[in-house]
Homo-oligomer: A and B are copies of this chain.
């Protein structure tokens, strides 16, 4: 029996958030959108999930206003984060930090720095150098000590072997 998606009866903003982003794969799709993934094929190759599942999740995220469809180059549809989607960054950051703490003995798999001054970004999203909160577009992600040295061969994984500014489109 599949479990229902909603949490009816849970009058709780956590439950409501999980109704929108708590399904399997959903937050990984949102993470990829922060990395600058925009195209269906890039999401599919990087996440390695059934295309029907990806399609359903993207539709749900668009319906919820977390992503929006835009016209990209060469007639491709692209998916980009809305303000509501960008507001999920603290959720991703907190889950990532917990995963690094308990499941990455060699250190963080990825490190995040402030593009303006190369300061490391702390768990609350502030630059340790200048002390300011750093918006995603000013954030650079780079491989950390915990990342395996052999990346997967897909375009997204290869792009992320070098420092990459969040939200900058993955090169085609």
Residues of A within 8 A of B (CB): 3, 7, 9-18, 20-25, 27-28, 31, 47-48, 53, 84, 87-88, 90-104, 108-110, 123-124, 146-148, 152
Question: Closest Cβ of chain B: how far from A100's Cβ, in Å?
Answer: 4
Select from chain B the residue with minimum beta-carbon distance to A49: B3
What is the count of identical protomers in the complex?
A: 2
**Is chain A's binding surface mostly helix, strand, loop or mixed?**
helix
Q: Out of B16, B92, B109, name the residue touching A103 (CB < 8 Å).
A: B16
Q: A3-B24, A13-B110 are in contact. List 12 more A-B contacts (CB 8 A).
A: A3-B53, A11-B152, A12-B28, A13-B95, A13-B99, A15-B99, A17-B98, A87-B98, A87-B102, A90-B98, A91-B94, A93-B94
Residue from B9, B27, B146 within 8 A of A152 (CB atoms): B9
